Homo-oligomer: A and B are copies of this chain.
Amino acid sequence: MPKMVYGFGDGRAEGNAGQKDLLGGKGANLAEMTNMGIPVPPGFTISTRACNAYFDARRRLPEGLESQVRKAMRAVEKSRGKRFGDLEDPLLVSVRSGAKFSMPGMMDTILNLGLNDEAVEGLARSVGDPRFAYDSYRRFLMMYSDVVLGIHKGEFESKFEALKKKRRVTDDTALSAKDLAGLCTTFKKIVAKRTGKPFPQDPWAQLWGAIGAVFASWDNARARLYRRKYGIADSLGTAVNVQAMVFGNLGEDCATGVAFTRNPSTGDNALYGEYLRNAQGEDVVAGIRTPQPISARRGGDDSLESTMPEAYAQLQTIRKTLEKHYRDMQDVEFTIERGELFMLQTRTGKRTGVAAVNIAFDLHEARTIKRDEVLERVEPEMLVQLLAPIFDPGELEQARNSGRLLARGLPAGPGAATGAIAFTAEQAEKLASRGKAVLLVRTETSPEDLGGMVAAAGIVTSRGGMTSHAAVVARGMGKPCIVGAESLQVDEKARRLRVGRKTLKEGDLLSMYGTTGEVLTGHLAPHPSEIQQVLVEGKLKPADSLLYRRFARLMSWADKLRRLKVRTNADTPRDSAVARAFGAEGIGLCRTEHMFFAEDRIMAVREMILADDERQRRRALRKLLPMQRKDFTGIFKAMDGLPVTIRLLDPPLHEFLPTTDKQFAALAREMGVSKKVLLEKAEQLHESNPMLGHRGCRLGLTFPEIYEMQAQAIFEAAFAARAKGVKVLPEVMIPLVGSVPELTRLRERIDAVAGEVQRKRKQKLRYLVGTMMEVPRACLVADEVASEAEFFSFGTNDLTQMTYGFSRDDIGKFLPAYLDDRILPRDPFESIDPDGVGSLVRRGVEAGRGARPGLKIGICGEHGGDPDSVGFFHRTGLDYVSCSPYRVPIARLAAAHAVLAERGGGGSGTR
């Protein structure tokens, strides 16, 4: 008969932390803690092997299990000095599921198992508290009926609420023992009616029922779906933990609490937590009473340190034991029953980015963990919190609790911001010019709003996804941004914002936390991050910031490890400089069109677009040439010695059109034509699906003079920069290539322009001509494309749009439902879809390198800054990723994680 039950208690356990396959995560940790000499209520774990045997036996408890359980129970009885099933002083137990990975759908906790109509009276007598006894029985009846007998707990809750209403009380504790005893009778009647049988009074029958229910829950639809989705084998099975109950609510010498072994917000190396006297664990979470701090420094006389100094001292010892053992900060739950401390759970504690860095370095300095482990302990995404301005967690929580949370949207650009609402870019610029902090709130943004976005401290839109215009531009600027806050009804014309019955007007104060996607009414003070103050604002010296020095060290370790290079998407000399400060190793995407919207050139751009013929178009382009040349010169200077990939004009021309009548009139004057003619021409540019329309290289081929001007500006700028001692490495990138002749024709033209500029300067210039890989077809014929392209850069934004047939601008209509229903595991614009889009990338890389060995390949979509995607690109063998300036450090760390994951060391690529 195989061993199926593993006991623990009194400092000895049959299992250990290494046996998560067999005992589940919870069971293995309880065994481990017991072995470490930490006080844990005794109990036993029924192994996953028993679960598999249960299913093999067609959902019957396997042979031999009963005797093993009875034997283990006897050990528990001995330890606690009570008998399971005793009617006078019964041993009560909890029953919990515990698989290797926690997953939704699995059976929840059952507490107080072992009570029945007689034992409840015995319990009342033995603890001298009938109210406690009937409250425990009431809780047990409800949980067991819900979880094991399948009667929805709503039925019980409504009876409970009815009784409270009758007694005119709101608090559970205000009900008397008699009330609760009556409620137990009512609950049992419901069970009898719904199941046709009385509630099981035999504690052993209760236990077998609970064990069977845990096993059965392994096979329910939700858990199965979850396992299928995350590739967890069905054969793993779940374990069952049966453990003696301990009570924190037996009087003033009892308590229950949760604690972190270090401060999870700052990483401060001190016990940090809260507790409640005379309370059960769930009361701390439910927030009925306000818990008190554990340490005297925070809580004074009400602290655990002051009221129960012995238990506090014991907790401090346990804290050290756990940290030494697990080599990381722990999140623990504990109960004090009549002065005796019991640890109920320990697990690795969640923490902020700042805390993660500080804890990892503190542990490293204490020689507890090694360099690679420091890297692993900091999730790349956590760096966002280090870089972005933040709200104080306490202040934020208080604002939430006082009803100031207005809406939630997608966290498109991390960081905290507060300011007066502006509904138009003009208004934002106006208020900002008066020194006011402004939040730009719009339905969505367009390139026209750029000035307002620059002026605003943060941007909120009611529509759009993580790669909408607002999101992409804001991230590029490192600005807090929330998009798709669908509950906001923004009326730009009326300059009004409504949510339900609340209305806000222009100028009203608003706060936003792009890190979490929360929009709050009123003012909440943002605090700039230390790293920002050192790197971007220059207000703080590295010597004055420990956090910065640790960040810089982390980055340098990551850089030594990683194989992927990290470039940035930057369109201006200023962005380039910021990105370089963040460690960018070149520009992977410079979008020339972003320069077109500047006030000094949009008129010339519009002239070009609405030109009647090539001659007129060339005249307009001549005006643009010196401006583009100047921009490129500045970028080349900022990226001295590093490669700069410049993408030629990409968006459809109508994006640049005037939008107001006034603008049309001004343009007509400038061009010397009638407004009507211009309006007609603009109308002709309308497209049904601009995303799939006349843009990218299609423009370059139909209006060759545009790309010729841009190429000329690039090459002349290269010489201009070189004249000032700058080392330039220009890479000209042609967008939206779908078939090889597109590339062939354009490359010929660009080479011709380069030749001419070189002849004029009488100097040679090394440059590359390559292509965006963003049209599915380009990936399918990548071998042919590679014969003409000197580099590939995957544009995974558009590639995702076309591979899925999802318009980024419209996906908001169904994406939330898709994510809720788990039709999509994640937003594919946020993290690359490895099976579909990813397979095109793989095919492109293989075929491309097959045709041109050593082909330089990068990626410049938004995925370049997503850690999981960076892992994918590492595995796919790309040379570099490119992302917005503020995500460069994240990509650097993610690229290092990818190497660690490859070595089997975990990291972000192992999902």
Residues of A at the B interface (CB closer than 8 Å) are 687-694, 698, 701-702, 736, 738-739, 741-742, 745, 774-777, 780-781, 784, 798, 801-807, 809-810, 813-814, 817-818, 821-824, 833, 835-837, 839-840
Please state if B739 and A823 are interface contacts (CB–CB under 8 Å): yes
Chain B residues with Cβ below 8 Å from A702 are: 813-814, 817
Chain B residues with Cβ below 8 Å from A835 are: 780-781, 784
Please state if A804 and B690 are interface contacts (CB–CB under 8 Å): no
Please state if A691 and B694 are interface contacts (CB–CB under 8 Å): no
- Tell me which of B807, B823, B836 contacts A687 (CB under 8 A): B807
State the Cβ distance, A782 to closest chain B Cβ, in Å.
11
Known: A738-B804, A805-B802. A692 touches B810 (CB 8 A): yes
State the Cβ distance, A34 to closest chain B Cβ, in Å.
42
Q: Name the CB-closest residue of B to A833.
A: B777
A694 CA to B807 CA, complexed, in Å: 9
- Tell me which of B689, B694, B742, B780 contacts A839 (CB under 8 A): B780
- Tell me which of B694, B742, B745, B823 contacts A745 (CB under 8 A): B823
* 8 CB-based A-B contacts, threshold 8 Å: A691-B807, A692-B692, A694-B814, A701-B814, A702-B814, A777-B836, A802-B802, A802-B803
Please state if A776 and B801 are interface contacts (CB–CB under 8 Å): no
Chain B residues with Cβ below 8 Å from A694 are: 810, 813-814
Chain B residues with Cβ below 8 Å from A803 are: 738, 775-777, 780, 802
Please state if A805 and B836 are interface contacts (CB–CB under 8 Å): no
Nearest 10 Cβ contacts at the A-B interface: A692-B807, A777-B836, A689-B807, A688-B809, A693-B810, A694-B813, A689-B691, A741-B823, A687-B810, A689-B689
Please state if B693 and A837 are interface contacts (CB–CB under 8 Å): no
Chain B residues with Cβ below 8 Å from A833 are: 777
A688 CA to B693 CA, complexed, in Å: 12
Known: A780-B835, A805-B798. A690 touches B689 (CB 8 A): yes
Q: Name the CB-closest residue of B to A805.
A: B775
Chain B residues with Cβ below 8 Å from A691 are: 688-689, 692, 805, 807
Known: A692-B807, A745-B821. A814 touches B698 (CB 8 A): yes
Known: A780-B835, A781-B836. A741 touches B809 (CB 8 A): no
- Tell me which of B698, B821, B837, B839 contacts A701 (CB under 8 A): B821
State the Cβ distance, A417 to closest chain B Cβ, in Å.
27
A213 CA to B745 CA, complexed, in Å: 27
Q: Can you name 18 extra interface pairs (CB under 8 A) apart from A701-B823, A776-B836? A: A687-B809, A687-B810, A688-B807, A689-B690, A690-B810, A691-B692, A691-B805, A692-B807, A694-B814, A738-B804, A738-B806, A739-B823, A739-B836, A741-B822, A742-B823, A775-B804, A776-B840, A777-B803
A840 CA to B836 CA, complexed, in Å: 12
A192 CA to B736 CA, complexed, in Å: 50
Please state if B802 and A689 are interface contacts (CB–CB under 8 Å): no
Q: Name the CB-closest residue of B to A653.
A: B813
State the Cβ distance, A289 to closest chain B Cβ, in Å.
40
Known: A701-B817, A777-B833, A839-B780. A805 touches B688 (CB 8 A): no
A742 CA to B822 CA, complexed, in Å: 10
Chain B residues with Cβ below 8 Å from A687 are: 807, 809-810, 813
Chain B residues with Cβ below 8 Å from A823 are: 701, 739, 741-742, 745
A687 CA to B464 CA, complexed, in Å: 11
Chain B residues with Cβ below 8 Å from A690 are: 688-689, 807, 810
A24 CA to B410 CA, complexed, in Å: 68
Chain B residues with Cβ below 8 Å from A801 are: 692
State the Cβ distance, A421 to closest chain B Cβ, in Å.
22
Known: A701-B821, A814-B702. A693 touches B807 (CB 8 A): yes
Please state if A813 and B693 are interface contacts (CB–CB under 8 Å): yes
Chain B residues with Cβ below 8 Å from A837 are: 777
Please state if A692 and B693 are interface contacts (CB–CB under 8 Å): no
Please state if A689 and B818 are interface contacts (CB–CB under 8 Å): no
Chain B residues with Cβ below 8 Å from A774 are: 805
A83 CA to B688 CA, complexed, in Å: 70
Chain B residues with Cβ below 8 Å from A777 are: 803-805, 833, 836-837
Please state if B836 and A780 are interface contacts (CB–CB under 8 Å): yes
Chain B residues with Cβ below 8 Å from A814 are: 694, 698, 701-702
Chain B residues with Cβ below 8 Å from A807 are: 687-693
Chain B residues with Cβ below 8 Å from A780 are: 803, 835-836, 839-840
- Tell me which of B736, B804, B809, B817 contacts A805 (CB under 8 A): B736
State the Cβ distance, A516 to closest chain B Cβ, in Å.
26
Chain B residues with Cβ below 8 Å from A776 are: 776, 802-803, 805, 836, 840
Chain B residues with Cβ below 8 Å from A698 are: 813-814, 818
Chain B residues with Cβ below 8 Å from A806 are: 692, 738
Please state if A689 and B809 are interface contacts (CB–CB under 8 Å): yes
State the Cβ distance, A33 to closest chain B Cβ, in Å.
39
A510 CA to B214 CA, complexed, in Å: 79
Q: Name the CB-closest residue of B to A809.
A: B688
Please state if B739 and A824 are interface contacts (CB–CB under 8 Å): yes
Chain B residues with Cβ below 8 Å from A692 are: 689, 691-692, 801-802, 805-807, 810
A824 CA to B737 CA, complexed, in Å: 12
Q: Name the CB-closest residue of B to A699.
A: B814
Q: Name the CB-closest residue of B to A798.
A: B805
State the Cβ distance, A808 to closest chain B Cβ, in Å.
9
Chain B residues with Cβ below 8 Å from A798 are: 805
State the Cβ distance, A721 to closest chain B Cβ, in Å.
34
Residue among A691, A805, A817, A824 with most chain B CB within 10 A: A805
State the Cβ distance, A269 to closest chain B Cβ, in Å.
45
Residue among A698, A742, A774, A781 with most chain B CB within 10 A: A698
Q: Name the CB-closest residue of B to A835.
A: B781
A774 CA to B803 CA, complexed, in Å: 10
A777 CA to B841 CA, complexed, in Å: 12
A805 CA to B795 CA, complexed, in Å: 13
A234 CA to B208 CA, complexed, in Å: 83
State the Cβ distance, A676 to closest chain B Cβ, in Å.
13
State the Cβ distance, A386 to closest chain B Cβ, in Å.
35
Chain B residues with Cβ below 8 Å from A745 are: 821, 823
State the Cβ distance, A527 to closest chain B Cβ, in Å.
37
A694 CA to B809 CA, complexed, in Å: 11
State the Cβ distance, A220 to closest chain B Cβ, in Å.
16
Chain B residues with Cβ below 8 Å from A824 are: 739, 741
Q: Name the CB-closest residue of B to A814.
A: B698
Chain B residues with Cβ below 8 Å from A741 are: 821-824
A803 CA to B690 CA, complexed, in Å: 16
- Tell me which of B701, B738, B817 contacts A836 (CB under 8 A): B738
Q: Name the CB-closest residue of B to A468.
A: B688
